[in-house]
Amino acid sequence: MSRLSFPVLLAIGFGFAFLYVPIIVLVIYSFNESKLVAVWGGWSLKWYGELFRNEQVLDAAFLSIKVAAVSATGAAFLGTLAGLVLARFGRFRGRSLFSGLVAAPLVMPDVIIGLSLLLLFVSLAGAIGWPASRGADTITIAHITLTLSYVAVIVQSRLAGMDQSMEEAAQDLGCPPVKTFWLITVPMLAPAIVSGWLLAFTLSLDDLVIASFVTGPGATTLPMVVFSKVRLGVSPDINALATIIIVVVAVAVVTAVLISRRAERRSAPD
């Protein structure tokens, strides 16, 4: 880092401190025996015990993971199709509306998405009787709508940067287009689809606002439980929950990076 001047190094140091100090403090205080933030009561695991005895938190976590897994899978499917259309299908009637619809959820405030989807569900229920009740299913549909755009963008940029000569070679050798797609394109796209799925899963797990709008009685996701608890101030068992999430995410992201780096190194010619 010798090329960097001192002010730039200072700015980087400040920036990373700003990003990480709150997280580190949260992790440390999750082991604090005392309930008060200002008082250090000694190291303890009691908030973790309390967290795992809290039925409400466990039920909500289970529901959130279920919704995230199903919606990420739906978003990966629809988003891959959308990315394929945008990257490979050239011009067709309605393309600009389509690309606008794919891009819009990326920047739309979540209060607007949440309100509009709820009003859609209410209108549909009045008109055709579906959805009869709101809950996990309506949250899943809302999350698919939100996250398919992220998958589409990742898949589209992967397709744009992908060498088409493999597909061309297969077709020149007489492979039918659909078979070429499944045998060549999909395996080459797999890393993009997997990272899209993971991003969709994370976004779904994290969403409070949209889920709060479109849920019904009985379906409470983890962010809703966390929000109602922390609205009243600091709650040490939420510190414990945050620490668990941070550790899981850090391990997963670092592992993913190491695996993809090793794969790159293996495929790169020496």
Partner 1 sequence: MAGRRRPLTGGAGKGAVTAIPYAWLLLFFLAPFAIVFRISLSEPLIAQPPYSPLFGADGSYQGSFFNYDLVLTDEIYRLAFLGSLEVAASSTLFCLLIGFPMAYGIARADAKWRLVLLLLVVLPFWTSFLLRVYAWIGLLNDTGLINTVLQDIGLIADPIRMMQTQFSVQVGIVYTYLPFMILPLYATLERLDWSLVEAAQDLGCSATKAFWKITVPLSLPGIVAGSMLVFIPAMGEFVIPALLGGPDTLMAGRILWDEFFSNRDWTLASTIAIVLLALLVVPIVIFQAAQQRENR
Could you say which residues in the range 22-81 bind partner 1, by CB under 8 A? 22-23, 25-26, 29, 36-38, 78-79, 81
CB of 22 to partner 1, least distance (A): 4
Per-residue HEC secondary structure of 56-124 comes to HHHHHHHHHHHHHHHHHHHHHHHHHHHHHHHHHCCCCCCHHHHHHHHHHHHHCCHHHHHHHHHHHHHHH
- Which residue number, 4 or 45, has a Cβ lying nearer to partner 1? 4
Calpha distance 261→194 (Å, rounded): 15
Give the residue ranges of DSSP H helices in the chain: 6-29, 46-53, 55-88, 95-107, 110-128, 136-160, 165-172, 177-180, 186-206, 209-214, 222-230, 236-267
Question: Residue 32: beta bridge partners?
Answer: 43
Does position 12 interact with partner 1 (CB under 8 A)? The reply is: yes
- Segment 112 to 141, residues that bind partner 1, using CB under 8 A: 112, 115-117, 119-120, 122-123, 126, 141
If one counts every other C-beta atom within 10 angstroms of the C-beta of residue 72, the result is 27
Residues in the chain: 270
Q: Which of residues 228-257 bind partner 1 (CB under 8 A)?
A: 230-231, 233-234, 238-239, 241-242, 245-246, 249-250, 252-254, 257
Residue 17 interacts with partner 1 (CB under 8 A): yes or no: no
Q: Of 58, 69, 85, 166, which one interacts with partner 1 (CB under 8 A)?
A: 85
Q: Which is nearer to partner 1, 45 or 230 (CB)?
A: 230
Interface mask toward partner 1 for 169-208; x: CB under 8 A? --xx----xx-xx---x----------------x--xx-x
Q: Which of 76, 148, 154, 193 binds partner 1 (CB under 8 A)?
A: 148
Distance separating the N- and C-terminal Cα atoms of the chain: 26
By CB under 8 A, tell whether 145 contacts partner 1: yes
Number of residues lying near partner 1 (CB under 8 A): 97
